[in-house]
Amino acid sequence: MPRYFIAIPYGISFEDWSNNLYTDITNLNLPLPGSENDWKDWAEILILDNDLVNVPLPESFDDWRNWAEYFVQNV
């Protein structure tokens, strides 16, 4: 899978970061983001719909930014 420029998830809200993925990553099936409270559901759909086997499911992370940083480094 090609590497992309994706914003590091600091100093930005979950809603803004996840919406920016639409312009940063054009070839992935991206679910519509919900609220920050629903970030784990959103991330799980993103992983499963795109078969991103190198990105862990979000339940192993307490904070969306930690998961998003891992996502940025591995996609």
In a domain, 5, yes or no: no
Provide the percentage of residues in the chain whose pLDDT is more than 90.
51
Asked whether residue 2 carries a pLDDT value surpassing 70, the answer given is no
For residue 9, give the 3-state DSSP assignment.
coil
The answer as to whether 69 is a domain residue is yes
Write out pLDDT tens, residues 33-65.
889 999 999 999 999 999 998 899 999 898 999
27 compared with 4, residue with greater pLDDT = 27
pLDDT of residue 64: 95
Number of domains in the chain: 1
Q: What kind and span of H or E run contains 40?
A: helix 39-50
Give which of 7, 11, 10 is closest to 19, Cα–Cα: 7
Distance of alpha carbon 49 from alpha carbon 51, whole angstroms: 6
Residue 3 has pLDDT above 70, yes or no: no
- 50: domain range? 14-74
Over range 13-33, report the average pLDDT: 88
